[in-house]
Amino acid sequence: MDRTLIEKYAAGAEVPREAIEGLSTAELNGFPVPGTWSIQQIVLHLMDSDLIASDRMKRIIAEDSPTITAYDESAFSRRLHYDKLDVHLACETFRLNRLLTAQLLRTLPNADFERTGNHTERGRISLVDLVRSYTDHLTHHLKFIHQKRGLLGKPS
């Protein structure tokens, strides 16, 4: 296990907050690219997905071959009123959750990163797969935030 992956994961803790600095509520909830999520929806999605990721990681660490349930991210965005929630509180929740999860990951022996669960859509996944996936997930969505900021005339 390359433990630098844990540090890369932890380094993402501040990213959502930094990515929305200087944006108004209207800009956060605007749709500079029609038919896609707003910046606020992306940030709330990142928070929810990271909370779910932490749960998944903990289940794999604590349980033998747990079932890892898929979820519908579009339904979350649509039904959980992402446009009405406090985006700054979401950034802080993301930050604290990611830092605490990274703290947990640092305590584990390398062998624990090979523990696995059974994802209801993707099949068998290991703890290291999840850490890598959610590290990349943040990077993936950050490029959309930067693109939308640019279109709003608020480059990062």
CATH value at residue 132 = 1.20.120.450
Is residue 123 assigned to a domain? yes
Is residue 74 assigned to a domain? yes
Quick check: helix, strand or coil at residue 125? strand
Is residue 156 assigned to a domain? no
Contacts of 106 (CB under 8 A, 6+ apart): 3, 6
Is residue 72 assigned to a domain? yes
Q: Give the per-residue pLDDT at 37.
A: 97
Whole-angstrom distance, CA of residue 27 vs CA of residue 41: 12
Predicted confidence pLDDT, tens digits, the chain (156 residues): 899 999 999 999 999 999 999 999 999 999 999 999 999 999 999 999 999 999 999 999 999 999 999 999 999 999 999 999 999 999 999 999 999 999 999 999 999 999 999 999 999 999 999 999 999 999 999 999 999 999 999 998
Q: Give the per-residue pLDDT at 24.
A: 97
Domain count, the chain: 1
Whole-angstrom distance, CA of residue 136 vs CA of residue 32: 24
CA 69, 44, 99: angle at the middle one, nearest 5? Answer: 80
Whole-angstrom distance, CA of residue 35 vs CA of residue 87: 21
Amino acid at 67: T
Whole-angstrom distance, CA of residue 42 vs CA of residue 90: 11
Task: Print the domain residue range for 118.
Answer: 4-151
Is residue 14 assigned to a domain? yes
